Amino acid sequence: MAETEKSAGSDNTEDILAKIENKSLKIESLIKQLKFLILIQVSHLKYANWIGVRKALMAIKDVEGILRSLDPQYYDILM
């Protein structure tokens, strides 16, 4: 009877360890997916920031072109 209890206890322990191992593998998988999603978000944010910077640079170039096309006296007044 003691042997049966030990056997049942070890089976129960093995089941618990197997469940823990399974859960830890799932957690590791989710962490990897999360890291990948974070990398995608960061790359999209960098791209969006670059688009904003590019638009600002183009607007500055447009304004510079407009200012340079002004008569010299108006250009001096504005500057």
Residue 67: what pLDDT?
Answer: 76
Residue 13: what pLDDT?
Answer: 82
**Alpha helix positions (H), the chain:** 2-69, 72-78
Number of domains in the chain: 1
Residue 2: what pLDDT?
Answer: 47
Domain containing 35: what range? 2-78
Residue 4: what pLDDT?
Answer: 52
Write down the pTM of the prediction.
0.46
How does pLDDT run along the chain (79 residues), one tens digit per residue? Answer: 445 555 555 678 888 888 988 898 888 888 888 888 888 888 888 888 888 888 888 888 888 887 778 777 777 777 6
Whole-angstrom distance, CA of residue 60 vs CA of residue 53 = 10
